[in-house]
Structures are given as C-alpha cells and as structure tokens.
Structure 1
Amino acid sequence: MPFDDHETAIAAAEAGAAVVRSRYGTELGRVEKTAGDFATEADIAAERAILAVLRTQRPDDAVTGEESGSSGPAGATRRWLVDPLCGTLNYAVRNPLVAVNVALRLPSGAIGAAAATDPFSGETFWTDGHTAWVRHDGADHPLHPSATSDLVDVNLDPPFPSHPALLLSEPGFTGRFRPRVLSTTLALLWVAAGRRAAYVTYGPVLDSVHFSAGIAICQAAGCTVTGIKGQPLHTGEGGLLAAADTPTHTELRTLITSAWSPTP
C-alpha cells in the first residue's frame, strides 16, 4: 500500500540518511561542480536511494535532485525537492553536521509534506503540511520552538546581497544574541525544535532543495518565517529569517536592516 505523502518523505529521507551514515569517514571520490562546490560519492549514492523510494511510492510525480537534476513525467504537477546531503563540505572533512532533505511541492506552490533527517542523531523532523514533529526510535514528538537559548545561526555561504558578517559585527546583535555558524540547514530544523532562537540566510530560497523542507517544518511548528528583511517569503530581497517567536523575529529584522549594505 502506498505511503501517505509525509511517510513517503520520511522513508525517502531516512533511506538517504542510511547511505550518508554508512559512508561517513570513508575515502570518497569527488565530482567538481563549480569553484568551491563539489559532490562526493556519498551525495550521489544517497540521492539514488532517495529516488528509489520516490519512484516506488510516487511514480507519477516529478523530482528535482541536487545531483541528478529534474526527472519524472514531463506533465507531473507535483514535484519532490531533494537534497541528499546538506553540508557536503562538513561531511567531506568528517564533521558530522549534515541533513538529508526531502520536500513535496504541490501544484499551488505550497509544500505539502517534508522530512529532514540528521543521519547521526537518528532524528527525522517532518511535517504533513499542518503539524510538525520529530521522529526518534520510532516515536513522534511535537516540535516546540523556543528562543530561550538566544543562539542565532547565520549562514555565511554566498551568494548574498549584503554580507552577513555585517550583521555579526552589529553592536546590537552581539549584545543581544550569541551567533553560531553551522553551514547546514540542520540549524533551521533546530529553530523548530527549540534549540536555536533563529536562523538567518541571505541567499535565494525559493524552490530550493536545500531550504524547502526546513522552511515547511518551521512554518508548521509555528515559527515566524519571512524574507530576510521581514517581507513575505520569496519576495523583495529574498533570503530567509526564521525565528522561534515574533519578538525575536522583530529584534533580528531591525538589526538586519541596520546592518544592510548592498554588496558591489
């Protein structure tokens, strides 16, 4: 019997995570993509495992994979967005801070289901489009955002319309929050789980295989999620500001605007 969409997302993400976990610490060949960007053999193998689940459970849907690109029926109106290993550079240097992301984009453009697995903690964060949970050892627990840690992850990877380091140097930021740089969307999941107060990235996030699952999980958990300057998501300057609550979001929005300086 076919899975529900969220169970399909969970099964696919966990299949990819099993590959990522099994290949960790081994010698891995690399496929160069652009300057400073590459995929490892683990990325490619994990994506194959994810695609095998999706093709079995949802053969009529299309897929956009980070490594394999677009596949599936040409007329499909539903599309799965797959990032088999978010944090490739971390993984390649044996830093186990990575996530495996799978999200379903509906014809409306909304994300109808999503799952993101931490291969090393064994946690899978997921949403059915309405509620948000974390599954561990077969048990599901609801996600509860909280800003009490004051920890804010800032993505420093380009491209960015204004350099994020300017936010880190803003006196009001360092006086109020404690910055972290994780370099994987695992941090976005931690906002939903109450382990981070907020997450900030200046790059594009629309239909992103890297961000779609985490955004959907944060939204379903009740986080305040907007574009980088507080505008509706996927408009204006783009980017992403996801905060555990509205007061934290308001403080960060003000600081981001104050530190804004367009890059040449």
Structure 2
Amino acid sequence: MSLVDAELAIRAAQAGAEVVRSHHGTAVARFAKSGWDFATTADIEAEQAILGVLRSARPDDAVLAEESGRSGSDRNGRRWLVDPLCGTLNFAVHTMLASVNVALRVGAEVVAAVAVDPFAQEVFWTDGSVARMRHAGADQQLRPSAASGLVDVNLDPPYPNERTFRTARLLADERFVERFRPRVVSTTLALAWVAAGRRAGYVTDGHLRDSVHFAAGIALCAAAGCVVTGLDGQPWHSGRGGLVAAADPGTHAELLALVAAQRDSA
C-alpha cells in the first residue's frame, strides 16, 4: 500500500500547493498564533484542500494538521501529518521559499511522504523505500551529494537545548565557515534539497517526533540514503532531539563534531 499511499500524498500535497500558488502576491490575512507565529488565509485554505483529498480517500485514518490539530481515530494505526505551508513568513512577504508537506505514519514508521515546492512545482516524494522528484510529470531518483558544501541551519525557536547547542553559534564557529557555506531558507524544503543533492546538510534543534513540519523531509532524506540522526548521533526522535541530516557519512561526522564542540564547552 505504500506506493498507493504515496500517490495519495502527492495528490493531497499538490492540492494544497495549488491553493498556495493562487494566493501568492495577494494581501493575505494573518491570524496570530503565539509569539512570532501566525497563519495566513493560504495556510488555512491549503490545509482544507489537503484534508479534503485525504478524508475522501481514507476516511478511517487519523490526521494531525498544523492549523486544525488532531482529527479522526488512531485505531487503525494510520496517521497523516500535514503542514500546509512551511515557510509562512517567507510566503507572507512574497518570498517564494516554502513547502507543502504531507506524510503518513503507520505505527512508528513513516511509509509515505511528500514535500512540494509550490512555486518551482517540484514534488519530492517517497514510498518509504525509494525517493524521487517529480516535475512536469516525470520522476527522477534523488541522489544526495555533499559537493556543494552548502549547509542549511534552522534559526527559528524553540531551542530546547539552548544551554549546550544553538544553530546560531555554528555560524560564529570558524571551523564551520572554513568547511561549509551556511544557508538559511527558513523552510523544511531545505531537507528535500539535502535528499536531492542541492545541500550537503541540514541542522536544527527541537523535539521533532510527530512534527508536521519535519516528518516528510526526514523521510525523504532517509529514503534517499542520507545520514539522519539527532544532535548527538542518536536516533533523531530520541535523547535530546534535534536533527543533523547529511548527504554522506563524512559530512555528517564533521557536523556532529561541530555540534559536540558546543556541548563540551558549555
């Protein structure tokens, strides 16, 4: 069922992406959430479009969605994780860096995941075993590469490990800037780019289990053959959490060493 579920996830994410594109350049209303966080009309309507597709095809599945929260029953062990617009602030100021994320978790495993770039109209997808990018109806395999030396870091809160690790401190570490070229796109689309070979790595803090923002990107990286762990090299959903995703073991080891240097000096 994974390939069938992946195609459903693609259809749902594309429905959301179409809504996001339709609102681009317009004066979307903002709805405050907490702190700097807010949703827009595009977030809400994109989520409704995604949920419409999922509920029509899988009425017995549970859903955890960014804007509407939990719905449905977990009795069958299937839960969809929906982030209708990752990069809301980018979108709200007409910056075309955003992602529409849909993932399906069955039990403890994500078996289908999609991240759509609504503006490039690139669909990054996995059925849990292969990872591909679909554009103009054609699929190509995702092939990670560290050749660019580009590493994306997530600077947004929360910072659960602030005392021993902050991504912002990586940018001030001479060893980091000597080896890598940092980027901050402020959307988990960057994780899909690691899977596709457009980024060498990605680093963030946070507790990411069941995260609607990160589930699709992590699954894409894993299926593409990237090295994906938490901040201490442990499984990303355990320990102190966080995420270090890298195109290859060598890059991953270098990033882990830089993260550990912060902890050791704390």
TM-score relative to the length of structure 1:
0.96
Runs of 4+ deviating beyond 6 Å:
none
Q: Is 2:38 aligned against 1:38?
A: yes
175, 180, 183: which one aligns with 1:177: 180
Q: Is 2:137 aligned against 1:138?
A: yes
State the alpha-carbon separation in 2 of the partners of residues 196 and 181 from structure 1.
11
What amino acid is the match of 1:192? A
User: What's the offset of the Cα at 1:27?
Assistant: 1.1
TM-score relative to the length of structure 2:
0.95
What amino acid is the match of 2:262? A
User: Which blocks of at least 5 consecutive residues in structure 2 are unaligned?
Assistant: none
**1:1-264 aligned within 5 A:** 4-73=4-73, 75-107=75-107, 109-160=108-159, 161=161, 162-260=165-263
Using the aligned pairs only, state the percent identity: 62
User: What's the offset of the Cα at 1:73?
Assistant: 3.1
Query: Is contact 1:15-1:49 (8 Å) kept?
Result: yes
User: What's the offset of the Cα at 1:228?
Assistant: 1.5
What amino acid is the match of 1:19? V
User: What's the offset of the Cα at 1:232?
Assistant: 1.6
Distance verdict in 2 for CA 1:80–1:245, change over 3 Å: same
User: What's the offset of the Cα at 1:169?
Assistant: 1.0
Q: CA RMSD in A?
A: 1.4
Query: Is contact 2:61-2:74 (8 Å) kept?
Result: no
User: What's the offset of the Cα at 1:262?
Assistant: 9.4
Secondary structure, counterpart of 1:104 in structure 2: strand
What amino acid is the match of 2:51? L
User: What's the offset of the Cα at 1:56?
Assistant: 1.0
Secondary structure, counterpart of 1:34 in structure 2: coil
Secondary structure, counterpart of 1:133 in structure 2: strand
Deviation sequence 1:219-260 (CA, Å, 0-9, x none): 000000000121122111100000000000001100111123
State the alpha-carbon separation in 2 of the partners of residues 90 and 76 from structure 1.
37
User: What's the offset of the Cα at 1:130?
Assistant: 0.4
State the alpha-carbon separation in 2 of the partners of residues 261 and 90 from structure 1.
35
User: What's the offset of the Cα at 1:6?
Assistant: 0.4
What amino acid is the match of 1:139? A
How many residues are treated as equivalent by the alignment? 260
Query: Is contact 2:151-2:201 (8 Å) kept?
Result: yes
